Amino acid sequence: MPRIELAEADRRLLRLVQADARASTQDLAEAAGLTSSPAWRRLKRLEDLGVIRAQVALLDAAKLGLDAQAYVQVSLTDHTEPTVAQFDALVRAAPQILECARVTGGFDYILRVVTRDAEDLERFLMRRLLASGIVRNAMTSFVLRQTKSTTELPLD
């Protein structure tokens, strides 16, 4: 995929919209040192190019009773297309899995999982992940304290 070249004004707008996607175009323009029309055109272009993929609300998991977060390293039984496709489908269907990345090293995937509590996590692991029949091994690391969590990409 070709890399999109950004002007400094684009970078300023993207930093601002990452911090607050609900800000008005006028507020974004003023903070970026632009007027409204050019700021709107730049944001529209960035959306059309797919640089801005979506605008979402970030929820507080703890306030919603989702107190257990863990990283799960997963090894599959094999790496055939059907097994990988089945695992991908399992991941897409599980709302507890917030992120899934195929990685190099001793495991095939790393999952970021959130559940109500440790027992809920155990049920998910035993009844969904391990019961799938395609997971050879899973190693879970509970998050004790989160030092940093951001969705903002570095644009420097």
Which pLDDT tens digit goes with each residue over 94-150? 999 999 999 999 999 999 999 999 999 999 999 999 999 999 999 999 999 999 999
- Both tokens of 132, joined, read 């799938």
- What's the whole-number mean pLDDT along residues 60-64? 96
Q: Is the pLDDT of residue 1 over 80?
A: no
- What's the whole-number mean pLDDT along residues 47-76? 96
Q: What is the pLDDT of residue 119?
A: 98
What's the pLDDT band for 41 if we cut at 50, 70, 90?
Answer: very high
What's the pLDDT band for 56 if we cut at 50, 70, 90?
Answer: very high
CB 138 within 8 A of CB 74: yes
- Both tokens of 128, joined, read 């969904």
How far apart are alpha carbons 98 and 116 in whole angstroms?
14
What percentage of the chain exceeds 70 in pLDDT?
100
- What's the whole-number mean pLDDT along residues 25-40? 97
Q: What is the DSSP string of 113-126?
A: EEESSHHHHHHHII
Residue with tokens 């899934």: 100
Instruction: Provide the whole-model pTM.
Output: 0.90
Cα 11 to chain centroid distance, Å, stands at: 21
Q: Is the pLDDT of residue 156 over 90?
A: no
Q: What is the pLDDT of residue 115?
A: 98
